[in-house]
Structure 1
Amino acid sequence: ETHPTPLPPGASLAANSSAVSRALLEWTPQRGQEGATYAVCLAVRSAFAGCAQTFFRPARPGAAGQHCLLVVVERCRYCALPGDRLESVAAAWGTTWLQVWGGTGLRQTDTLPLGTLVDLGPRYVVHPGETLRRLSRKFGVPPAALAAWNPDLAAAAALLPAGGTLEELDLYDNPLLQAAATRVTPGLPAAQEVCVLPRICTYTPIPGEAAAPAAPSASGPGPFTCQQCGNGTVCSGPCLRWSGGSPSTCLERSLSRCDRCRACAEELLDPAGQVAVPGTFKSGGCTPTLDTVCTPCSTCAPGLRELSPCTPLRDRQCAAAPAPPAMNLLPV
């Protein structure tokens, strides 16, 4: 039963009618419950006054038999519901699909499969003395956004630095913080986890630091292109247009970003010095539009000897074996 304390929002308890009494507890956490821990206690009570309760053993004589569960709602993670898209999920959390995609590596922005686990951002562990204002400056996000991503902080009344007010931080209109308006603590508790969605794909200057160089045009920087990838990186993402040849080169990608080029496999030898696991070496690639091309290591042909082994960066070097020294025999 749920009386006198109701189940948390989003939870339901439905009984199944059969010879054996069963009940199914289902709970889909809702926004505003992130970071909270709920105690859900189930009790069995008879509808007949003369029936003894034997389903649970009471904790002490006279105590009602009950079974309690502690449910911790994770922060910074979201489980996709029917019809969810990466873009709609990001908008609901006050960010962009590119931010979420860049941090999770999800391939699709169209409809997400039901139950897809989306990591919205990292969970930062607060250090002693840090406040909401300081975290806001560190990650370049508004204080109101931090509060919305971490509603449990408002409930703990640990959001404002000493002497601060909700009006000063422009947070008074946030309904998650009104309950904490009169209970101000000096800072966030140490070791507290805080969900942060940093703007990893944009630049936001921290207040007080030098401004970023002006964009070359009034319209701002242009769209991302694979040519922006530096040395040792390659443009990744679903390919839209290929060029011919072998290997093929992707000319245009969707949802692009720069990733490290893949590394070729190192050759492994057995105790006798023989090749146990063949390796590969870099024969090309690792450009903005083409990943590393790894080619199997060659072996020295009969009559050739090894000058240098095969490494992930260079193939095995072989040379002709030197001829045996000539022997001049003198007559006796």
Structure 2
Amino acid sequence: GQEGLLHRLCFLASGSSVENKLCIQVDILRCQMCVQSQESMQSLSSLWHTSWTEVWSGNHLLFNPDLVQVGQVVFAGPTYSVQKGDDILHISRRFGVTVEDVLLWNPDIDETTRITGYSLVEMQDLCVIPETCINSAKIGSDTVVISNVESEM
């Protein structure tokens, strides 16, 4: 729940007469998670409200979804750069996901975006996990893909 946030961490080391302070900035990357103990592709996908096949399809270096290692970085999905005129509602429709999921995947976008009509900052990166493993999806205004076969409506 920290994706997209910047944290400034300061450490103070003090001794008998000397005090040293070191500060670092930590940028929490979007759409990525380090696997913790007892986590699986199934549990990670559940956190992201998607299926394990969706997550696995975005991790081309992971040959076996049953063999995720502690500390391994797993990608939830791609990042999308907000274009002029984009808002969360239209982005969610474009990728076939809910507004609630876009907000879940981007916890730095607070509830005030609801008040402002889901407006976003141009070139802002968002985590999106598009529906890539579905049997049917609407492409454009009149083409439907069903079982990987295109047909006109």
**TM-score normalized by the length of structure 2:** 0.81
Q: Distance in 2 between matches of 1:94 and 1:186?
A: 21
How many residues were matched structurally? Answer: 146
The answer to whether the Cα contact below 8 Å between 2:35 and 2:68 also exists between their aligned partners in 1 is yes
In the TM superposition, residue 111 of structure 1 has moved relative to its aligned partner by 4.4
The equivalent of 1:35 in structure 2 is 4
Q: Which has the larger radius of gyration?
A: 1
1:147 aligns with 2:116: no
In the TM superposition, residue 212 of structure 1 has moved relative to its aligned partner by 3.6
Q: Distance in 2 between matches of 1:143 and 1:41?
A: 36
Structure 2 residues without counterparts, runs of 5 or longer: 149-153
Q: Distance in 1 between matches of 2:8 and 2:101?
A: 28
In the TM superposition, residue 209 of structure 1 has moved relative to its aligned partner by 3.7
Q: Tell me which of 18, 22, 35 is aligned to 1:80.
A: 35
Structure 1 residues without counterparts, runs of 5 or longer: 1-31, 57-65, 166-183, 216-220, 222-227, 229-332
1:71 aligns with 2:38: no
The equivalent of 1:205 in structure 2 is 138
In the TM superposition, residue 196 of structure 1 has moved relative to its aligned partner by 0.5
Q: Tell me which of 73, 90, 114 is aligned to 1:117.
A: 73
In the TM superposition, residue 211 of structure 1 has moved relative to its aligned partner by 7.5
The equivalent of 1:179 in structure 2 is none
| C-alpha spacing 1:41/1:119, structure 2 compared with 1 (3 Å) | same
Match runs of 1:273-284 below 5 Å: none
Structure number having the greater strand percentage: 2
Match runs of 1:196-235 below 5 Å: 196-202=128-134, 203-205=136-138, 209-210=141-142, 212=144
Q: Tell me which of 117, 122, 129 is aligned to 1:190.
A: 122
The equivalent of 2:94 in structure 1 is 138
Q: Tell me which of 74, 89, 93 is aligned to 2:48.
A: 93
> Letter of the aligned partner of 1:89 in structure 2?
L
The equivalent of 1:249 in structure 2 is none
In the TM superposition, residue 154 of structure 1 has moved relative to its aligned partner by 1.3
Q: Distance in 1 between matches of 2:47 and 2:98?
A: 16
Q: Distance in 1 between matches of 2:48 and 2:118?
A: 27
The answer to whether the Cα contact below 8 Å between 1:140 and 1:198 also exists between their aligned partners in 2 is yes
Q: Distance in 2 between matches of 1:103 and 1:151?
A: 21
User: Once the two structures are superposed, what CA deviation does each residue of 1:80-129 show, in whole Å capped at 9, x if it has no partner?
Assistant: 11222112211111111111111212222224211121111001111122
The answer to whether the Cα contact below 8 Å between 2:32 and 2:75 also exists between their aligned partners in 1 is yes
> Letter of the aligned partner of 1:127 in structure 2?
Q
SS of equivalent to 1:151: coil
RMSD of equivalent CA atoms: 2.6
SS of equivalent to 2:24: strand
Q: Distance in 1 between matches of 2:137 and 2:94?
A: 10
Q: Distance in 2 between matches of 1:83 and 1:138?
A: 34
Of structures 1 and 2, the one with the larger relative CO (CA 8 A, separation 6+) is 2
Q: Distance in 2 between matches of 1:108 and 1:83?
A: 16
1:55 aligns with 2:13: no
In the TM superposition, residue 210 of structure 1 has moved relative to its aligned partner by 4.0
Runs of 4+ that moved beyond 6 A:
none
The answer to whether the Cα contact below 8 Å between 1:84 and 1:111 also exists between their aligned partners in 2 is no
> Letter of the aligned partner of 2:126 in structure 1?
V
The equivalent of 1:263 in structure 2 is none
Q: Distance in 1 between matches of 2:14 and 2:127?
A: 41
